[in-house]
């Protein structure tokens, strides 16, 4: 949904109304995956290490966000436009969707210890 929203932003004229609606919708989507991610981690790995695993997932998401924003600034400084970063953002969003599509919401069972 994020990739589609960004693609729509790129295609539409950059009027104040378009930017406001984009910002509101993107804000709704920004952390909308948090409850789903938390639930998936809990069902797959159990609740014993939930804090550590969810913390790692959320922390790595923030690191990715930092590098995305930083790289956007670097690209803008180099070529004077954000077009390449918008395109990369759409491509990475679609790639992430493809990677996550096969995830199954089932508990992982540990193999029996060898005797």
Q: What is the pTM of this model?
A: 0.74
| CA pair distance 10, 85, nearest whole angstrom | 11
Establish if 59 belongs to a structural domain: yes
Count the domains in the chain.
Answer: 1
Q: Is the pLDDT at 94 greater than 80, yes or no?
A: yes
Length of the chain, in residues: 115
Establish if 31 belongs to a structural domain: yes
| CA pair distance 4, 93, nearest whole angstrom | 9
CB 75 within 8 A of CB 89: no
| CA pair distance 104, 3, nearest whole angstrom | 22
Predicted confidence (pLDDT) per residue in 38-78, tens digit: 888 888 888 888 889 989 988 988 998 899 899 999 999 99
Domain that holds residue 76: 2-98
Establish if 8 belongs to a structural domain: yes
Mean pLDDT of the chain: 88
């Amino acid at each position: 949904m994020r990739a589609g929203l960004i693609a729509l932003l790129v295609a539409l004229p950059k009027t104040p109304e378009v930017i406001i609606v984009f910002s509101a919708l993107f804000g709704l989507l920004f952390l909308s995956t948090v409850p789903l991610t938390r639930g998936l981690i809990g069902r797959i790995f159990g609740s014993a290490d939930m804090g550590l695993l969810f913390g790692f997932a959320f922390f790595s998401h923030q690191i990715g966000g930092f590098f995305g924003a930083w790289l956007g600034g670097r690209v803008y400084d180099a070529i004077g436009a954000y077009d390449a970063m918008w395109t990369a953002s759409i491509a990475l969003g679609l790639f992430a969707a493809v990677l996550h599509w096969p995830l199954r919401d089932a508990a992982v069972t540990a193999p029996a210890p060898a005797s």
